[in-house]
Structure 1
Amino acid sequence: MTAAGFYDRIRGQLSYERLFFLIFLVALFLRFYQLDLKLFHHDEAIHAWFSYRLLTEGVYTYDPMYHGPLLYYTTAGMFSFLGDADLVGRIIPSLLGLLLIPLLYPIYRLGYLDTKQTLIAALFIAVSPDMVYFSRFLRNDIFIVFFTMVLLVALLYYFERRETKYALIAGAAVGLGMSSKENMPIVVVIFGSYLLYLIATRRLELPGKWKTDLLLGGLVTVGIMAALYSSFGAHPDVLADGWLRAIEHWTAMHQQERLGGPPFMYIILFLLYEVPIFILAVFGTVQFLGGDGRAARLVQSLRRRLGRPERPELQSLDAVAGTRIIDRQDEFMRFSVYWLVLSLAAYAYIGEKVPWLILHQLLPLIFVAVYRMTTRKAIVAVALSVFLITMTWHVAFTPADINEPIVQVQNSEDLRTVMALIDASDRVAIASENYWPLPWYYRGNASQKLQYYGGKIDEGSIYSQNFDMVITYDQDTYPALTGYEKTPYKINYWFSYYDNQDRLAEYYVTRTGKLGSMNFEIFTKPGLAENAAG
């Protein structure tokens, strides 16, 4: 076989559909492999605990500190089917993170992305450290990213096909997103303001029944939110003041800057974890602003208009744009840049800087990064993805405490030893105000051996009740307890920007530096450690 023949055979085997499916399988592996490798994060444990109480006691009321109700109802549902466990709690986030990839396909089918753009966008979503890490994470943000993608696809199809069902899907996406977390309105404002721009510039003509469709979509949104926020009618008072409490709480959090950082904090995180995507996005933006290739693409649009398009569904372009020739990919890029800039600005302004908020900026960054994806540029993107895969493996699959800002108050692996000691004990005193995630890991019947005091107690109470083990916070502990051995353990840990800001370049290479932590001091009866180890 000649070299040319071999190359043609390889090209025939690596069709678009096969490559897309292969990327999907990679994403599937990265999201579900050893899903319970790491202990629950502090917030994950709280979310799982509330979901468990919802399942076992029927107890749930919306609290803006812990975000919207959808996560709790879906997680409780998973616990009811598959049992309450760390792995089960992470299944839905992993599934939503995985389904971002198939949602690229309808955008491709409408012509807003070409084959190379779709494949590279899918690759970036599949192996991005932040996308993978927070898809394996029981928090609300991957819910928001998923419903953002559903909303995007529904809106594109609505304005192409002008069918009411897509308005209803868009309404459901907004309602479910708004029932997930309080930052969904940022997405709605960005999408809505760009839609107004398209209408004002006559780049988009609304269908004649748009008012009816908007009303129906709005009713779906309101219905979903009313059902979930009222706990399906159990707490109707939440509908009256829940939105106000949410505004008050998050305004206070913004002003307090409890977990603060500089306005450019997320740029630092992009450069730490997503640098290939960031570089290609900068390059793509420069290409777009310079008008690179736009004339040629308009010629292609004109040819489609005069002849038969490559894909039949592209024939609706002129029905949407009237007599104007609008290039889908350029228009989608314009929207993606707008989406990215406003997202960067919004989260730079918000006072609380937590790593999972990067997802809402990363999604439009990926779309900007794949603009004008030539074969050469695609090869570069695939090569640079080695960095993404390496970082993903490091942050998601290292079974140890890692010095990375992505973890943000991650529970320490030291807790496995602490829990082994608890398991070997008959009675344990929790004489500390800091004790999460113990209520999650010792729930139900397992909780009976633990006595929570919420702080240090009188030593006489410890001796009189003959505890096998006493857990204290190292900032409020005992110098010693007669008859007990004292050992320190980390509860959780975090990377602080302010503790390392003077050595960022060194940290980037070595990933070493000051690691903040909260610590237990554990008092155990002699021989307990040996029993736990045995």
Structure 2
Amino acid sequence: MTADEKSANARRWSRESATAFGRAIGARTAVAVLAVTALSLSLRFFALGSRAFHWDEARVGYWILRYAENGIWEYHAVIHGPFVYHVNKYLFQLFGASDFVARAPVAVVSGLLPLTAWLFRERLNRVEMVTVGLFFAANPIVLYYSRFMRNDVLLAAFMVYALAFYVRLFDTRKPRYLYAGTLMLALAFTTKENVLVYVVTWAGAAVLLLDHRLQLVAGTDDRKQFLREQARETWTALWHGRWGLHLVFGLLFFFAVVVFFYAPRSRGIPEPGLWKAFSNPGMFPAVIEEATVGSWESFMGKWGEGNQKSYLDTFESLGGVLRRSSLALLVLAGVGFLTDRYVGDKPRDLVAFTFYWGFVSIIGYPVIVENAFPWEVIHAVVPLAIPAGVGLAILVRWGSESVTDGDAVSATLAALLVLLVAGQVAATAASTTYMHPADQYLDEGASERNALVQYGQPAEGIQPTLQRVRYAVTNNDGTDVLYYGSDFYVADESENDRWAAGGGWYDRLPIPWYTEMYGAEVDSTDDVQAVGSNPPPVVVARAGDRDVVAQQLDGYRAFEEGLTLWGSETVFFVDEDALPPEQRAQRGAVS
């Protein structure tokens, strides 16, 4: 073999080895991302149905059950977008209604968030992909509300999916990513009305990225030339290439998804409905108008005025939630953004874009939110997970390089910082999500408030009483549950069959979700004498009415529970004979 042949073979071997090594690194990174995703899903599905439904979960869950039964649905901005209504309706019909099944869509959508790191593989290195995935998986507030049937995590997750697919579109120029991203964007529009804030935030971040580009161009004339070239390339791609047609199809696809979800359903009533329109095509214009113009009017009627409360008070409240749940993420997001912008050769668009998105959400949400509820900070935390992952990867790299260089002090310091971050995130997540998911405080001394639990969460311990109600309902004919008192009274219980419910129905929450799920026949009265005339197996009253109701009942046991974290103590009177056999005591007076 000649020297030239040996040299050629050596170069070929080097190229093949480098390719094989790159594939091996990529494969290991993909396995790591999949492992983080499996962890993310496991954290969300573990004991998913153990916490009793929150007031808001129960309200929406009840309307889904009613929709599944009567086939009637229309958009109301006060109860947010249609995604969970339509998805959970079919899940309930397939698997039966339960707390677990109701929360499953949110758990799945958010649990898969770490996979988006793989779509960013042209923009993140292999360590960053894993660390970004870990923040998506285990951030305490994202984890807590990923186990909650609300739209906020769904909205944030769908927008990250949309961004990931659109970034992949720019990296590969493959049209399939345009349609995948558009689907995610359309689904985001079916979750919650503040998706419009995301659109504005994205537009602002894009302008700042354009400014980055202009700053890299030397002089004024060069910048003008740069803008002209960008405009010319865009025009050529749209009108002389294939992308114009793809954009048109993508836009039509977007509106088709939105119309499908927002179109009213009207089985059994003389109003326009989506499924009716397929047998009567002349109805489609009315259905489309209601799904678009009608939905927009409903949205503006409810949310068009923004926050009417003090900005500083709202900012302080939401800031407190951020500090308690995501301090490490906030600090590392700043580290990741600043290091990427000022230390590297060239700032990365993805890191800057997501940092701007999250930062503006922190300062902007106190302007627009109606109430400073803890779930609002999700809209800042989720995008900041990306620069935070970059910041954590810097610590990991620092430690790794220190070990290689034999710098024991730096390696130890880096390891301690990583362990501190991991320990803080893990401890907070374990305490708030698993140990105290429905407690006002995180300690026995009631000194450390649980910032993630909102007031509408039933106090810990209500589940056994709900199971007693379920057993009583299952083994009874006729009226199963009777509410007593002005707080709970509804003159005509049929008013509760369609939104909105009547009278004191809302003060009953979360009980209506459970009684509807159990198939209970419910009635109410504000006449205490009517309670004792022919009492059903379960009577529900406020704790303040306990004594007067007890006088009307014989052989009932009383179980006092909080329907919210405080101030809503309610007594469930259950007939001794209607209790499970192992819980029955000797029949006698109410205890």
Q: Same fold (TM over 0.5)?
A: yes
Q: For the Cα contact (< 8 Å) 1:473–1:520, is it kept in 2?
A: yes
Tell me how far apart the structure 1 counterparts of residues 64 and 367 of structure 2 sit (CA, whole Å): 32
* 1:442 and 2:515 aligned: yes
Tell me how far apart the structure 2 counterparts of residues 342 and 29 of structure 1 sit (CA, whole Å): 32
Secondary structure, aligned partner of 1:489? strand
| Cα separation, partners in 2 of 1:384 and 1:459, compared to 1, 3 Å | same
Q: Alignment partner for residue 287 of structure 1, among 331, 339, 357?
A: 339
Q: For the Cα contact (< 8 Å) 1:490–1:517, is it kept in 2?
A: no
State the partner residue of 1:272.
324
* 1:191 and 2:202 aligned: yes
Secondary structure, aligned partner of 1:119? helix
Tell me how far apart the structure 2 counterparts of residues 260 and 474 of structure 1 sit (CA, whole Å): 37
* 1:334 and 2:380 aligned: no
State the partner residue of 1:391.
428
Amino acid at match of 2:431: H
Secondary structure, aligned partner of 1:410? coil
Q: Alignment partner for residue 413 of structure 1, among 449, 454, 460?
A: 460
1:374-412 CA-to-partner distances (Å, cap 9, x unmatched) read: 323774335411221122122222267412231212123
Secondary structure, aligned partner of 1:254? coil
Q: Alignment partner for residue 529 of structure 2, among 460, 483, 504?
A: 460
Deviation at 1:229, TM superposition (A): 0.7
Q: Residues 34-73 of structure 1 correspond to what in structure 2 (within 5 A)?
A: 34-73=47-86
* 1:208 and 2:227 aligned: no
| Cα separation, partners in 2 of 1:142 and 1:164, compared to 1, 3 Å | same
* 1:239 and 2:292 aligned: yes
Q: For the Cα contact (< 8 Å) 1:37–1:399, is it kept in 2?
A: no
Q: For the Cα contact (< 8 Å) 2:59–2:510, is it kept in 1?
A: yes
Secondary structure, aligned partner of 2:120? helix
* 1:230 and 2:263 aligned: yes
Amino acid at match of 1:352: N
Secondary structure, aligned partner of 1:274? helix
* 1:152 and 2:163 aligned: yes
Secondary structure, aligned partner of 2:304? helix
1:425-481 CA-to-partner distances (Å, cap 9, x unmatched) read: 754311222212222212266312x32x2xx51122112223444212346776454
Q: Alignment partner for residue 302 of structure 2, among 249, 269, 272?
A: 249
Structure 2: where are the runs of 5+ without partners?
1-23, 215-225, 266-272, 275-286, 400-413, 441-449, 489-503, 585-591
Q: Residues 102-181 of structure 1 correspond to what in structure 2 (within 5 A)?
A: 102-108=115-121, 110=122, 112-181=123-192
Q: For the Cα contact (< 8 Å) 1:469–1:522, is it kept in 2?
A: yes
Tell me how far apart the structure 2 counterparts of residues 106 and 189 of structure 1 sit (CA, whole Å): 24
Tell me how far apart the structure 1 counterparts of residues 573 and 143 of structure 2 sit (CA, whole Å): 38
| Cα separation, partners in 2 of 1:424 and 1:164, compared to 1, 3 Å | closer
Amino acid at match of 1:331: D
Deviation at 1:245, TM superposition (A): 1.5
State the partner residue of 2:588.
none
Q: For the Cα contact (< 8 Å) 1:23–1:123, is it kept in 2?
A: yes
State the partner residue of 1:369.
388
Q: For the Cα contact (< 8 Å) 1:174–1:188, is it kept in 2?
A: no
Q: For the Cα contact (< 8 Å) 1:420–1:533, is it kept in 2?
A: no
Tell me how far apart the structure 1 counterparts of residues 425 and 323 of structure 2 sit (CA, whole Å): 11
Tell me how far apart the structure 2 counterparts of residues 44 and 229 of structure 1 sit (CA, whole Å): 20
Amino acid at match of 1:224: V
Q: For the Cα contact (< 8 Å) 1:169–1:217, is it kept in 2?
A: no
1:135-160 CA-to-partner distances (Å, cap 9, x unmatched) read: 11111122212211121112212323
State the partner residue of 2:37.
24
1:25-61 CA-to-partner distances (Å, cap 9, x unmatched) read: 3212211111111112222222222222232321211
| Cα separation, partners in 2 of 1:176 and 1:22, compared to 1, 3 Å | closer
Amino acid at match of 2:513: W
| Cα separation, partners in 2 of 1:517 and 1:391, compared to 1, 3 Å | farther
Q: Residues 63-102 of structure 1 correspond to what in structure 2 (within 5 A)?
A: 63-102=76-115
Q: For the Cα contact (< 8 Å) 1:424–1:531, is it kept in 2?
A: no
| Cα separation, partners in 2 of 1:400 and 1:63, compared to 1, 3 Å | closer
Q: For the Cα contact (< 8 Å) 1:35–1:136, is it kept in 2?
A: yes
Name the stretch that deviates more: 271-280 or 398-407: 398-407
- Scaled by the length of structure 2, the TM-score of the pair is 0.71
| Cα separation, partners in 2 of 1:413 and 1:368, compared to 1, 3 Å | same
Q: Residues 3-14 of structure 1 correspond to what in structure 2 (within 5 A)?
A: none
- Could you tell me the percent identity over the aligned residues? 19
State the partner residue of 2:6.
none
Name the stretch that deviates more: 461-470 or 387-396: 461-470
| Cα separation, partners in 2 of 1:271 and 1:475, compared to 1, 3 Å | same
Specify the structure having the higher radius of gyration (Cα): 2
How many residue pairs are counted as aligned between the two chains? 462
Deviation at 1:417, TM superposition (A): 3.9
Deviation at 1:103, TM superposition (A): 1.1
Secondary structure, aligned partner of 1:34? coil
Tell me how far apart the structure 2 counterparts of residues 196 and 88 of structure 1 sit (CA, whole Å): 42
Amino acid at match of 2:322: F
Q: For the Cα contact (< 8 Å) 2:34–2:115, is it kept in 1?
A: no
| Cα separation, partners in 2 of 1:260 and 1:463, compared to 1, 3 Å | farther
Secondary structure, aligned partner of 1:103? helix
Secondary structure, aligned partner of 1:520? strand
Structure 1: where are the runs of 5+ without partners?
1-10, 299-326, 495-515
| Cα separation, partners in 2 of 1:430 and 1:256, compared to 1, 3 Å | farther
Tell me how far apart the structure 2 counterparts of residues 172 and 138 of structure 1 sit (CA, whole Å): 21
Q: For the Cα contact (< 8 Å) 1:471–1:522, is it kept in 2?
A: yes
- Scaled by the length of structure 1, the TM-score of the pair is 0.78
Deviation at 1:186, TM superposition (A): 1.3
Tell me how far apart the structure 2 counterparts of residues 180 and 132 of structure 1 sit (CA, whole Å): 18
State the partner residue of 2:220.
none
Name the stretch that deviates more: 193-202 or 262-271: 193-202
